Amino acid sequence: MSPLDPQDKINVLFVCMGNICRSPMAEAVFRDLVKQQQLIDHFEIVSAGTGDWHAGEPPHHSTRETLRRHGIEPNGLVAKPVSQAMLDRADYVVAMDYENLADLRTWRIQRKKISRILDYALDVDIRDVPDPFYDGRFELVYTLVNRGAEGLLQQIRETHNL
């Protein structure tokens, strides 16, 4: 299969509050899963925050360390605030928790596009990924994000016949 035209790529946008812990971890994990399944040419994968406090910063050092422990390099990730252009371009807007979801609903966005990452992890009994910035549970966040990313990719593969 030949690579898709850039405008035909499936655009996935992961969103958390500051874009330094959960959403960049989700971006990196999802990108790694997509690469493992040799589907990277079909995707544009980005992350952003509902706030701009950390714009221009790399992910939290514990996010980077956790990703590396799992064999994922967090190279090139830089915090940025969500923009209307990102939301308009996205096929899937994936929030980390209910608060992020509520913040996103204040934007002009098709509701069908918005979900939480754990909506794709049906065997997990919680829907919100906790913010490790406050409690240091980066390994738990990795586990949850990984489960959600696997489910999301499965859903996208089924929906788009990949």
- What are 114's strand-pairing partners? 93
Instruction: Sketch the domain layout of the chain as residue ranges.
Output: 6-160
The residue count of the chain comes to 162
Which pLDDT value is given to residue 4? 45
Residue 47 scores a pLDDT above 80: yes
Asked whether residue 13 carries a pLDDT value surpassing 70, the answer given is yes
Query: What tens digit of pLDDT does each residue of 129-161 get?
Result: 999 998 999 999 999 999 999 999 999 999 999
**Of 21, 22, 32, 147, which residue is the catalytic one?**
22
* Residue 21 is among the residues annotated as catalytic for this protein: no
pTM, whole model, 2 decimals?
0.93
Residue 22 annotated to the active site: yes
Instruction: Determine the Cα–Cα distance for residues 48 and 22; give it in Å rounded to an integer.
Output: 10
Distance CA 9, CA 25 (A): 21
116 strand-pairing partners: 95
User: Is the separation of the CB atoms in 151 and 122 below 8 Å?
Assistant: yes
**Secondary structure (3-state) at 48:** strand
Helical ranges in the chain per DSSP H: 22-36, 61-69, 84-89, 98-104, 132-135, 138-160
What's the CATH class of domain 6-160?
A: alpha beta
Residue 1 scores a pLDDT above 80: no
Q: Which of the following is catalytic: 32, 64, 131, 147?
A: 131
The pLDDT value recorded for residue 8 is 84
d(CA 34, CA 28): 10
